[in-house]
Amino acid sequence: MVEIATIGTFLVAAVASLFMAWAIGAGSSGSTPFAPAVGANAISVMRAGFLVGILGFTGAVLQGANVSEAVGADLIDGVTLSPMAATIALVIAAGLVATGVFAGYPIATAFTVTGAVIGVGFAMGGDPAWAKYTEIATLWLLTPFVGGGLAYGIARLLRAEPIAEKYLIIILAAFVGVLVANIEFAVLGSGDAGGASIAEASSGWLPGPEIVGVVVMTALIGALWAAAIALDLRHGIERGERHFLLVLGGLVAFSAGGSQVGLAVGPLIPLSGDVGLPLIALLVGGGFGLLLGSWTGAPRMIKAISQDYSSLGPRRSIAALIPSFIIAQTAVLYGIPVSFNEIIVSAIIGSGYAAAGSGGGVSARKMGYTVLAWVLSLAGSIVVSYVGFVAFDTLLF
């Protein structure tokens, strides 16, 4: 029988987790994906907010397991987070995010939650998970260069037009189709094999080795995406680009749900076993929090951010969203908590520089403050969580 104290601890942590999910949904992961399409007048603000909530919820349920498990179990070696430690980590992380929201400081959720879990883990006597830290640091450090570089390259291609713009959009659509064919979905896996991609799941329909079936299905799905965009472009390049923006916004919103829900529900995993909740229940709850945040807070943010995107234009917005989708899915695949702000800002700067070396309207000073806020979010949350756990443990025992 579950103790009342355990249920009470879980409820406190669940409230903090729900607030964290709401803040994520109302913030960059809920507002950014469709902002380019709104800026290009391809969709209304309210409709964008509605869709991003649904897609974020879907992504959380179908792809949120990897990052959630990493945040809950892989950031500290040698110990398993106790219910008290997990609760303190979530409450402190949520408190820091709330402070940032109301004070106007850019507190990064990914860095804050990661630091909070590491801080309480160290306070419990755990050891650093160096292998996981290496993965995390690699993605965090490479994101500005890879995301910004890809966005710059795509924007330059679309701007210089060594290939006719129509055909380049078709090629990009085929590339995105290939990516979609090979991203993992939890519902497509079988047994203990984990998730599977659309190409893997459908390769069994074809005779011969599985690898051949995967290649064939990947090529087929990519061709179908290219054909769909090609048909749309027949009615005008501008219309086709706007519709492609809608598709990319949907993919980025879905990926945001899969990569960001783990920041909200990951610390709950050590507690979920004590109260008999499976991981899927946590993902549904976290996804619901993202949906609430997107529906209640994202429309206002979408309207504000879309003004920045409208200055980029549809082509450079496409250039920014494609690498954002790639990096978010990489984080999902490897179970790495990642800042969606970092992904999007890097891609915007890259695509903006392709225009005239302008950096997409982001000043060096503003970017410096943002990076400093990211570093302080990580370091500060580690220290505050460590001290908070030690103080609470001392008072309690």
The mean pLDDT of 163-191, rounded to a whole number, is: 85
350-360 burial, b at 16+ Cβ within 10 Å, e below that, comes to bbbbbbeeebb
The predicted-structure confidence for 114-124, as pLDDT tens digits, reads as follows 999 999 999 99
pLDDT of residue 228: 92
Residue 105 CB neighbour total at 10 angstroms: 13
* Weakest-pLDDT range from 209-213, 220-224, 271-275: 271-275
Q: Confidence band (pLDDT; 50, 70, 90) for 28?
A: low
Neighbours of 45 (CB within 10 A): 18
Q: What average pLDDT does the segment 187-207 reach?
A: 75
What is the pLDDT confidence band of residue 173, given thresholds at 50, 70 and 90? Answer: very high
pLDDT band of residue 382 (cuts 50, 70, 90) is: very high
77 within 8 A of 124, measured Cβ to Cβ: no
Q: What is the pLDDT of residue 313?
A: 75
> What pLDDT score was predicted for residue 331?
92
Q: Which tens digits make up the pLDDT trace of 315-359?
A: 888 888 999 999 999 999 899 998 887 888 788 888 877 765 555
The residue type found at 198 is I
Instruction: Give per-residue pLDDT as tens, 245-284.
Output: 889 989 999 999 998 898 989 888 877 766 667 888 899 9
The pLDDT value recorded for residue 306 is 67
On the question of pLDDT at 360 being above 60, the answer is no
Task: Tell me what pLDDT residue 308 has.
Answer: 60
What confidence score (pLDDT) does residue 171 get? Answer: 92
Q: Considering Cα of 125, then 130, then 133, then 135, what sign does the dihedral take?
A: negative
Structure tokens at 248: 């990319």
Report pLDDT digits (tens) over 288-311.
999 998 888 777 777 766 666 656
Of 378, 352, 376, residue with least CA distance to 363? 352
| Structural tokens at position 101 | 């929201």
Q: What is the pLDDT of residues 74-106, one digit of tens each?
A: 999 988 888 888 888 888 888 887 777 666 565
- DSSP letters for 62-110: HH-HHHHHIIIIISEES----HHHHHHHHHHHHHHHHHHHHHT----HH
Mean pLDDT value across the chain: 83
Q: Residue 139: which pLDDT band, with cuts at 50, 70 and 90?
A: very high
Task: Show the beta-strand stretches assigned E in 96-245.
Answer: 127-128, 184-185, 196-197
pLDDT at 270: 78
